[in-house]
Structure 1
Amino acid sequence: MILDISIFILLVASAVILLMILFRKFSILATIDVDSVPQEKVEQKKEDIIEMRLRRKLEWLKNNLNRIIKPIFGFLNNIFKLTYQKVLELEKSYQEKSQAVSDDQNFNQQKTRALLSEGEELYNSEDYGQSEKKFIQVISLDYRNVEAYDGLGKVYLAQKDYEHAIEAFQHALKLEDKSSGVHCDICQVYKELGDFDKAVLYIQKAIELDPNNPKYLDALIEISILKKNRFLAKEAYRKLKKVNPENQKLSELEKKIENI
């Protein structure tokens, strides 16, 4: 009986010890995430594969881009070089043409001055036909030359061709309306025509532009005497005496004014 109890106790103790060992094993296994271990390895493997594929694609893209971009940059570089060369050629051509134009302008200016001088000399020597030709030549070179139109007007005035004289002087005034000399010249035309009112207007404009010019003041006095405008004549005489007291005509002009 005692032996049976001992055997029973021994069996129970063995069973308890075995259960404790099994419990510990299960506890350790319980702490391990069985599912996560292979899944992590799979995920890592996938990442490695994706990374490897990405690197391959990037390498392929790099190689292909180099093959594509390199010729494009080469083409653009050639275009730039050609364009730059063309710009240099155009600039050189422009400079050459500008120089040629400048040379032509200088030549024309020299020729214009020479023709104007010749025209004035011929006018002073009363060779009006040749003088007219010289001034017309100047206009053919420089159609905006005020001196040429003024000289032409003087030639026509000397020839008593008053209509063409007025046209020439008026054209000169269109080009330069502040030319006191042209205003004085056109005044002489109207004086010759007997239109003293217009003559006074033009000579007064000349004096307005050049107040102390004795020639203009003298012309105003002469026209005022012809108009029998004593007040205007005396006013012009007073200014002339002030700006040109040595004028030999002062006494003569004073007598004419007193006789108005």
Structure 2
Amino acid sequence: MLIFTIVLFILSFLIAASMFLVKAGQVSNHLPARNHLDNKTIHADRIWPYFKTKFGSIVNKIWHFILEAKDLKPATTKTLQTQVEKVKNAFRIRIRSSEADPQWLPEAAELATKQEPNQTAEELYLRAIQKNPQDQQAYEALGRLYLQNKNFKDAVEIFEHLIKLSPSRDTYHSNLGLAYFSLKEFQKAARSYEQALSINNKIPTRWVNLSFCFSALEDYPKAVKALTSAVGLDKYNLNYLTLLVDAYLKVPNHLRAEEVLEQILSIDPTNKTAREKLMKLKI
């Protein structure tokens, strides 16, 4: 867009310059000294071809720069339409043809399947999968869409299929755990999060989510263990520490709950909630 603006500005300037020179030439025809200046005057009809040639050269250089930036070659048939399409494809530009065109999720623009008017994101992904049943990218996008739209049953089906294709992808197991947890299938959710953590155990939020599964199953010792792992990865996270206090209280282990509350107050001495809980435990 910036390049087209620059080109338009240059074109406007050249047109204005040529019109000025033409006007100057018309005025000079009536001057008494006209005959003495003939050999020194540059006429507009000579200048315009010069500027036209230079203008074409500049535009051509700019266009070649755009193509070289994306490792492309100029089109053999140099039509505006074919060149614009090349740039749109190279930079993944999606230009809406009208206000009726849908505002799709970002993932939709990454698919090879061409967009159609009035097509939903789900329809686009399903069409891509129908065209290529092995298109994991389309399945991933569809699974995320189902999670976002709280269509958890379909999300479970999608991520179970993706796990069959790529069992070592930890995000598939984690997303499956989220879908199961949302369906209140806490045992399956816990297994999914445990599998995700067996592949990548450096993400504290996964440990927290696993603790939620164990808390829902009323297995508080395991919830404590999961939260302890989360705190080990993010020691100063007051939210994780507060959850750990609550888990200890449900075990119950008041002594450890007091220790964690004191840890919270050492980080945030103004934490009123933690101070009140600690006072109640010490009474």
Which TM-score applies when normalising by structure 1?
Answer: 0.48
Q: Larger relative contact order (C-alpha < 8 A, sep ≥ 6)?
A: 1
State which structure, 1 or 2, has the greater radius of gyration over its C-alpha atoms: 1
Which structure dedicates a bigger proportion of its chain to helix? 1
